[in-house]
Chains A and B, each alone.
Chain A
């Protein structure tokens, strides 16, 4: 039976069918739904790790024990997991190990659009790229087999269009059974320099064997058509090329590292003009040119952002006007994402803006605090960066009005070690932890701070307050972010101190627990001062000469009520009494 599955659902199904028993990862768009789907299979132990490095290390342990394993993450997650990855290539595996890596060209939900195909080359591991959901499912199985046969971890690289597009997948495959025994082998698994040097040589032999395998791998294949023009394409780009140039010859690359040199050379030789179509960097093109093959690529095809059939057609035809038109913005008012009405982060950013502090930001829903009208953030780089950023800035300037703002899940991911540094190296920055009891931005996943596992079991919650005290932070406050007066008092107090301090603003994310009060409304006392419009709340709008609150949107957090000096924002019931209804 064939059913429509997203790339992520297909990967989960592929992992199930291939007999995977252990799965770990950290949420990150566009990869998150893989583990969420896998969690539904009882036979698989799937779990959220606090970060991608830990996830991969769990995967290594499980593989070592002889179990088929997958580890999932978004592209920037592999930066975090790069430490173990490079050495894992040396040791190799026991049970098959596939790392699912989801790139995000066009940065739909990311801070950069790095091309992670380079990781395969620099870490010296094979990489597979699916072009649709059926291939995604198949390549999990193939990847595990390649991993076991060549004693190496395999990266399965997807892009947003593969993860979040749906296509038909055959779901009649029976779950495979696979189990290997663990044998202690210190030369292979204990990477002291003497052992590592041996494994380094051995790795080159494995790569040579993989290069030979790539020549015969059925995923790398030629679909012959016209010999006057031919395309070499990987991932979703293959689909676009087939769509736009149905008559052309196409060499589909599914194993992008190591590349099949003979297959490619033979193809290029038989075609008059060969164009490499790949998203982001000229990864394939550069290798082909290094081999002396006469191909073109990025001279025609854009290297920034996602491709689509139109950009490929215009690029190949040399239609610069169309490419410029496609890249241009229209004048229709944009609809950027924003913090929800009643979001517990909004009031904190309002105060930070009013206090004109230097705010080192981090990755999560609260990064939306940078959007107008709040614009209360100075930096956002990567997971956990806020605390180190604040520490460095504070040390360099001597300023005390420097704060780091980080969410609870991001703090668990990589906020703890920089906080240790703040204490250890006598920093005085104030760290604000916005604890909304979930990983909100990726769709509300649990984490060690909630104690609830991916499978839904309750467990021990990491007590953030006790944790930061144990790290040596003496000045710790827990404050309700809906209480603006208390929030301002806490921030004012903590930034004045010559010691590290932590303020935990705690409120459960509205998306997780929609338990709010009566909506608010604006009454005739409104003096049109527009103070409330500085909050950027989607429930608030400016109509003619006064503010208006859309009752169906308002969650009654009363943050706007606290900043209205005219007392014109009241609960519905009060308004009704006042009007004598």
Chain B
């Protein structure tokens, strides 16, 4: 195991299941015998505020907080939040973004405009952007509420960890009645990115 520390951000809006997703990721990494730290700011998250969680793993992790320009991956549950936190990505880092728009208060009131060029702005920073419709994919899997697990599935397909530990972590963390739906959601997300990678390769 190298000394390199890897960094993942999971961001979105309060109530989207962000902390559960980060918790599952962190537990998967513990199962894979990494040292893991996870930071979250959720003071007023139930009131529709911006929520971010940071997961760091490696041989030995000190800071629970990721520095700007250091994140390898980011899952964003909402487009504006992807833009807000995109400075945390390292050049060549990857954002998996849910194609969902939730207007913040200043936009609802007509005091600010929701940016129309989020994709362009992110790509201009030299970040790989993968946009998925996680909410629709979650609905196909049995519940729109499983969008967080769809996104985790997307992330899992980019990380060199066995699927079994992901499934085990999902089983441990979600309500028993929802295990099957969540596993389906995970597989849907996983397959989407794998298929995309296969298609990209075919083009080359």
Interface residues of A (CB under 8 A from B): 2-4, 29-30, 108-109, 132, 160-161, 164-168, 236, 239-240, 242-243, 308-310, 330, 332-340, 365, 368, 371-373, 441, 443, 511, 533, 536, 538, 540-542
Contact = CB atoms under 8 A, between A and B. Distances in A.
A15 to B, nearest CB: 22
Contact of B106 (A242, A310, A333): A333
Nearest to A165: B64
B50 interface: yes
A441 B14 CA distance: 13
Contacts of A161: 39, 64-65
B52 to A, nearest CB: 11
A75 to B, nearest CB: 13
A536 B105 contact: yes
Contact of B104 (A166, A167, A333, A339): A333
B203 to A, nearest CB: 33
B47 A30 contact: no
Interface stretch (B79-87, B160-168, B194-202): B79-87
B103 interface: yes
Interface in B14-50: 14, 23, 26-27, 30, 35-50
Contact of B37 (A108, A166, A337, A511): A166
B84 A330 contact: yes
B123 interface: no
Interface stretch (B112-120, B125-133, B146-154, B182-190): B112-120
A338 B65 CA distance: 26
Contacts of A336: 49, 104-106
Given A161-B64, A542-B108, A333 B114 contact: yes
Q: Which 4 A-B pairs have the closest CB atoms?
A: A109-B43, A337-B47, A165-B64, A337-B44
B47 A340 contact: yes
Contacts of A330: 84
A511 B14 CA distance: 13
A333 B64 contact: no
B105 A335 contact: yes
Contacts, number: 137
Contacts of B113: 333
B105 A167 contact: no
B63 interface: yes
Which of B45, B83, B103 is the most central at the interface, judged by chain A CB atoms within 10 Å of its CB? B103
13 contacts: A161-B65, A165-B64, A166-B23, A166-B38, A167-B64, A236-B63, A240-B63, A333-B114, A336-B106, A337-B49, A533-B109, A540-B108, A541-B107
Which of B35, B41, B111, B112 is the most central at the interface, judged by chain A CB atoms within 10 Å of its CB? B41
Nearest to B86: A332
Contacts of B65: 161, 240, 308-309
A5 B84 CA distance: 28
B75 interface: no
B13 interface: yes
Nearest to A162: B64
A340 B37 contact: no
A335 B30 contact: no
Interface residues of B, number: 46
Nearest to A106: B41
A4 B39 contact: no
Contacts of B47: 337-340, 365, 368
Given A29-B44, A168-B35, A309-B63, 7 more contacts: A160-B41, A165-B40, A337-B45, A338-B48, A339-B47, A540-B108, A541-B108
A499 B43 CA distance: 39
Which of A164, A166, A372 is the most central at the interface, judged by chain B CB atoms within 10 Å of its CB? A166
A2 B26 CA distance: 13
A335 B49 contact: yes
Contacts of A511: 46
B44 A109 contact: yes
Nearest to B43: A109
A395 to B, nearest CB: 34
A335 B104 contact: yes
Contacts of B37: 132, 165-167
A571 B78 CA distance: 29
Given A30-B43, A333-B107, A336-B104, A168 B63 contact: no
B83 to A, nearest CB: 6
Contacts of A540: 108
Contacts of A30: 43
B86 to A, nearest CB: 10
B40 A164 contact: yes
B43 A29 contact: yes
A385 B37 CA distance: 39
A323 to B, nearest CB: 13
Contacts of B114: 333
A538 B108 contact: yes
B109 to A, nearest CB: 6
A302 B38 CA distance: 24
A240 B63 CA distance: 5
Contacts of A533: 109-110
Contacts of B13: 335
Nearest to A333: B112
Nearest to B50: A335
B115 to A, nearest CB: 7
Contacts of A373: 109
A533 B26 CA distance: 41
B30 A3 contact: yes
A371 B64 contact: no
Contacts of B14: 337
